[in-house]
Amino acid sequence: MSVRVRYFAAAAEAAGTDAEDRTESTLVALRTAVVVDHPALGGILDRCAVLLDGTRHDDDAPLAGVTHVDVLPPFAGG
């Protein structure tokens, strides 16, 4: 099983990519693993909204059946 993680704006810059395929089975495991692989994400990931197939999740959620995980940093503007 793999899930496509898409990074936007500052998260993409910190990760050094705008997307990657991951194999973690839960959201907590995914958060931990991406910070290990992309240490610069550690400074912003806690402030990012995380969407699983378009639905925001702030808790640990299983990733089975999830197609996309979107990592969206806070945006400024009006």
Domains and CATH numbers, the chain: 3-72 (3.10.20.30)
Tell me, what's the pLDDT at 58? Answer: 84
Predicted TM-score (pTM) of this structure: 0.92
Summarised one tens digit per residue, pLDDT across range 8-53 is: 999 999 999 999 999 999 999 999 999 999 999 998 999 999 999 9
CB 19 within 8 A of CB 44: no
**Residue 76 pLDDT grade (very low, low, confident, very high; cuts 50, 70, 90):** low
**33: Cβ contacts below 8 Å, ≥ 6 apart:** 22, 24
CB 15 within 8 A of CB 38: yes
Which among 26, 12, 32, 16 has a CA at the least distance from the CA of 57?
Answer: 26
